[in-house]
């Protein structure tokens, strides 16, 4: 689901970029860095998170996708100096094979890490997005997530200013409970902020999903 004009302005603003540095610090503390890793980023927006994945986490390269072609254009401008290390695509986070088809990305078990900087709460089929994350991760690969929960989305300010799917939004507990169904083990590597409005964590891809063992 595309962001409206207000949220687009917010996520491309200096305060949002400052907040992302805090999120990166916490995610690094929870799950470590990714030196030399091949990484996928879902919902790259204007590319600032992609820049942090390269500079702060030490990734070797990033395949990044966004549903909004205007954001891909912004990201391309921002990431010019990383030529050869970033591949951008317009498409859906629920079908990375199709999104990355032009350069052969998005195949099974093809990424050492996947990053989600507050994108999955925008996706109507959020469970499908988690399944896609798990599909493209290598065994032992890590899923770094920073999400907005149903508690925040129910607040009048969110409802008035932003556009989000109106049904089947997840609480922090529901998101964490869904991860092992797709072979993503989070353990105690997660944290909430602002009374459960925001959820951050790092999950590791196991060899088999919960569905495959039942």
What local confidence, expressed as pLDDT, does residue 137 receive?
A: 98
Q: 85 and 23 in contact (C-beta within 8 Å)?
A: no
Q: What is the DSSP string of 178-196?
A: HGGGGTEE-TT-EEEETTT
**pLDDT band for position 208 (cuts 50, 70, 90):** low
**Token pair in block for residue 183:** 């072979």
In the predicted structure, residue 28 carries a pLDDT above the cut 50: yes
Q: Which has more pLDDT, 127 or 3? A: 127
What local confidence, expressed as pLDDT, does residue 213 receive?
A: 37
In the predicted structure, residue 214 carries a pLDDT above the cut 70: no
What local confidence, expressed as pLDDT, does residue 6 receive?
A: 72
Mean pLDDT, range 66-77, rounded to an integer = 96
Distance CA 98, CA 115 (A): 18
Tokens 């401008």: give the residue: 77
Distance CA 100, CA 87 (A): 9
pTM of the model: 0.91
What mean pLDDT is reported for the chain?
A: 92
Phi/psi-derived region of residue 53, left when phi > 0, alpha when psi is between -120 and 50, beta in every other case: alpha
Residue among 84, 77, 18 nearest 45 (CA): 77
What local confidence, expressed as pLDDT, does residue 22 receive?
A: 93
For the chain, which domains are there?
5-213 (3.40.50.150)
Mean pLDDT, range 16-33, rounded to an integer = 93
Mean pLDDT, range 162-183, rounded to an integer = 93
Mean pLDDT, range 108-130, rounded to an integer = 97
Residue among 123, 87, 118 nearest 105 (CA): 87
Mean pLDDT, range 11-20, rounded to an integer = 80
In the predicted structure, residue 35 carries a pLDDT above the cut 50: yes
3-class SS of residue 74: helix
What local confidence, expressed as pLDDT, does residue 159 receive?
A: 76
**pLDDT band for position 97 (cuts 50, 70, 90):** very high
**Token pair in block for residue 90:** 């317009």
Q: Which has more pLDDT, 193 or 214? A: 193
**How large a percentage of the chain has pLDDT more than 70?**
95
Mean pLDDT, range 87-101, rounded to an integer = 98
What local confidence, expressed as pLDDT, does residue 9 receive?
A: 76
């Amino acid at each position: 689901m595309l962001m409206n004009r207000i949220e687009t302005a917010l996520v491309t603003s200096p305060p949002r970029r400052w907040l992302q540095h805090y999120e990166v610090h916490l995610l690094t503390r929870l799950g470590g860095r990714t030196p030399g890793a091949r990484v996928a980023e879902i919902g790259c927006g204007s590319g600032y998170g992609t820049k942090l994945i390269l500079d702060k986490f030490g990734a070797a390269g990033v395949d990044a996708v966004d549903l909004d072609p205007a954001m891909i254009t912004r990201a391309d401008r921002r990431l010019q100096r990383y030529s050869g290390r970033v591949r951008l695509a317009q498409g859906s986070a629920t079908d990375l094979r199709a999104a990355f088809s032009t350069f052969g990305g998005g195949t099974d078990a093809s990424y050492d890490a996947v990053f989600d900087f507050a994108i999955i709460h925008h996706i109507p089929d959020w469970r499908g997005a988690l399944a896609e994350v798990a599909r493209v991760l290598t065994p032992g690969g890590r899923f770094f997530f920073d999400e907005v929960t149903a508690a925040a989305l129910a607040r009048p300010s969110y409802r008035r200013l932003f556009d989000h799917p109106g049904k089947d939004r997840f609480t922090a507990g529901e998101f964490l409970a869904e991860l092992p169904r797709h072979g993503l083990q989070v353990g105690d590597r997660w944290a909430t902020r602002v009374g459960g409005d925001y959820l951050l964590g790092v999950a590791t891809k196991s060899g088999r999903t919960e569905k495959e063992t039942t």
